[in-house]
Amino acid sequence: MLKKRYLFYIEQNYAFAMLRPLQEAILAKGDKVAWFLAGSQVDEAYLLDREKKINSVDVIFVYNPDAVFYPANIAPTFLPGINVAVFHGFDAGKLDKRGNNDHFKVRHCFDLYCTQGPNTTKPFLALAKQHQHLLVKETGWSALDPLFNYTKNIEHIKPTVLMCSTFSRHLTCAPILFDKIKALSRQGKWNWIIQFHPKMPTHIVEQYKSIQNKHLTFIETDNVIPLLQQADVMVCDTSSVLMMFLLLNKPVVTFKNISPKDYLIDINDADKLIQSIEYALTRPEKLMRKIARFIHETHPYSDGKSSERVLAAVDELLESDIPLKKKPLNLIRNFKMRKKLGYWKFL
């Protein structure tokens, strides 16, 4: 049997950790995988020695992948292979300029959407029925396989609070909570870990770095999963990373979440941060029941095998004769993609 060839098309450093579980599943099957790093915001230094990098679009055509995986919202449609959307986060309720949910939007780039759970699958199934040029398969999120494949450490002496924040100027809690977190970290009641979205403005990053002490550590990483596993409570805003934390059955305190649900402890006053964290650390029964319901709807797969389900979904599409309509041409977007990649050949 011929080995399948897969391509990872990435534009952000966080995509390395997101796609490596899928890479392991591909290699375990004896198939091939390569990486293509597009744009200036992704750093080649994050590649491991054993990982194969493709340096140009011309080489992609020579490599001729069966499928290209994108942890992104948009993708070029002129590359070989089927386009597979594997998402770069959960639905955090963010809205576009027209007030529509930005997560559930078909941009006519993908042939297959590998969805994370029922509350993602249902909207995309409706969109698939509407557009008829894409397929949807619920697989769980392959990026989370390592989240569930770990042994919990022995209980630490002090609780650990992980603070994460989005980069959006209108949604971030980082500048508002800075003084409060600075004071709390110096009290030493809890251990603090601070981790921000890679697009967070530099001045905010430097601000938090400046207050590091034996109770507070600022971490820059392409893999947030070990931090999620280590912490007892998260402080966040509207970043989708809070969804990953909840899936570990742990409470989240949010500051001015744009769509606060009953499984979150949402506050709009920085002075309520301390009591909210203390409440979260008690793991109140009513809150934990709501978190369990959220898990069932969002990502009910805790077996660490979503990557295998993604590959099975790709195989099913490659081997099927499902009549899909042609995707709209998207001339403007494809022009922008070609310009970005410096590729003007038309095959």
Q: Is the pLDDT of residue 194 over 80?
A: yes
As a whole number of Å, the end-to-end CA separation of the chain is: 28
pLDDT, mean of residues 273-302 = 97
- The per-residue pLDDT for 299 is 96
Question: Per residue in 112-137, pLDDT tens?
Answer: 999 999 999 999 999 989 999 999 99
Q: Is the pLDDT of residue 59 over 70?
A: yes
pTM: 0.82
Q: Is the pLDDT of residue 14 over 90?
A: no
Question: Per residue in 220-245, pLDDT tens?
Answer: 987 899 999 999 999 999 988 999 99
Task: Supply the mean pLDDT for the chain.
Answer: 92
- The per-residue pLDDT for 81 is 96
Q: Is the pLDDT of residue 26 over 90?
A: yes
Q: Is the pLDDT of residue 105 over 80?
A: no
- The per-residue pLDDT for 157 is 78
pLDDT, mean of residues 60-67 = 97
pLDDT, mean of residues 44-60 = 95
pLDDT: is 270 or 101 the higher one?
270
pLDDT: is 98 or 326 the higher one?
326
Q: Is the pLDDT of residue 195 over 70?
A: yes
289/207 Cα distance (integer angstroms): 37
pLDDT band at 86; cut points 50, 70, 90: very high
- The per-residue pLDDT for 222 is 75
Portions of the chain given CATH number 3.40.50.2000: 5-146+304-341, 150-298
- The per-residue pLDDT for 95 is 60
pLDDT band at 108; cut points 50, 70, 90: confident
- The per-residue pLDDT for 249 is 96
pLDDT, mean of residues 268-282 = 97
- The per-residue pLDDT for 285 is 98
**CATH level 3 topology of 5-146+304-341:** Rossmann fold (3.40.50)
- The per-residue pLDDT for 154 is 52
pLDDT band at 97; cut points 50, 70, 90: low
Report domain 150-298's class.
Answer: alpha beta
- The per-residue pLDDT for 256 is 96
Q: Is the pLDDT of residue 101 over 80?
A: no
- As a whole-number percent, the residues of the chain with pLDDT over 70 amount to 94
- The per-residue pLDDT for 107 is 83
- The per-residue pLDDT for 221 is 87
